[in-house]
Amino acid sequence: MPSTKASEVAQALRERLGEIRPENGYLTAIDRVYGPTEKVKDKAPLPYLIVRTSVDSRTGAAKTQASRIRTFEVEAVFGRSAEEADLDSIHVDVLRALGFGRDEYDGRFPGLIEEQDDAVPQYASEGRDTHSITITIGVAYVENYN
C-alpha cells in the first residue's frame, strides 16, 4: 500500500532514534522505539522511546503540494532508579541522532527544524513508577495531494 510523506517521515524518525546505543557512540542504550499506536507492555525493558505526532501544520501550498511542519514528541521512559543525568543524556542523544548542528549532507535528519526543541522531564512520584523526558522536535516536509 502506498504511504504518505508524513508516514515516511515518522517511520524514518523512529528508525534513526532506534540507533541510540553505546556501540553507536551514544550515552544511552535504548531498548526499543515505539510508534504512537503500539502498545507498550507493562514489563517492557527500560529505557525505551515513544514517538508520536503532536501537531502537523500546513505552512504553504502550491497546486497539489503543501509544505508542512510536523511536530513530534519523543518520550524517553526510564525506571525509578534512573538519575537526572540519564534524562539529560537521552536529550543530548536524541538531538545528536538527528544530526543537530550538522548540515543536511553531514547526517542531519532531513527537514529537521533546529530552532524547535523543548524538553520536559517528569519524575517518579506517588502513583508513578517511571521517570521520563518528552523532547519536542519539528520536521519540515512536503506532502503531495495528487
Strand partners, 71: 55, 138
39: which 3 cell numbers?
502498545
What is the C-alpha to C-alpha distance for residues 17 and 60, in angstroms, rounded to an integer? Answer: 28
Asked if 71 contacts 138 with a C-beta cutoff of 8 angstroms, the reply is: yes
Give the CATH number for residue 69: 3.30.70.1700
Q: What's the number of domains the chain is made of?
A: 1
What is the reported pLDDT for 5?
Answer: 96
What is the reported pLDDT for 79?
Answer: 94
Asked if 40 contacts 48 with a C-beta cutoff of 8 angstroms, the reply is: yes
Residues 55-70: pLDDT tens digits?
Answer: 999 999 999 999 999 9
CB proximity list for 134: less than 8 A, separation 6 or greater: 73, 74, 75, 76, 119, 120, 122
What is the C-alpha to C-alpha distance for residues 115 and 104, in angstroms, rounded to an integer? Answer: 15
Residues 31-88: pLDDT tens digits?
Answer: 999 999 999 998 899 999 999 999 999 999 999 999 999 999 999 999 999 999 999 9
Nearest to 91 by CA among 18, 12, 11, 27: 27
Pairwise pLDDT comparison (94 vs 106), residue with the higher score: 94
Domain that holds residue 116: 5-144
What is the C-alpha to C-alpha distance for residues 46 and 66, in angstroms, rounded to an integer? Answer: 38
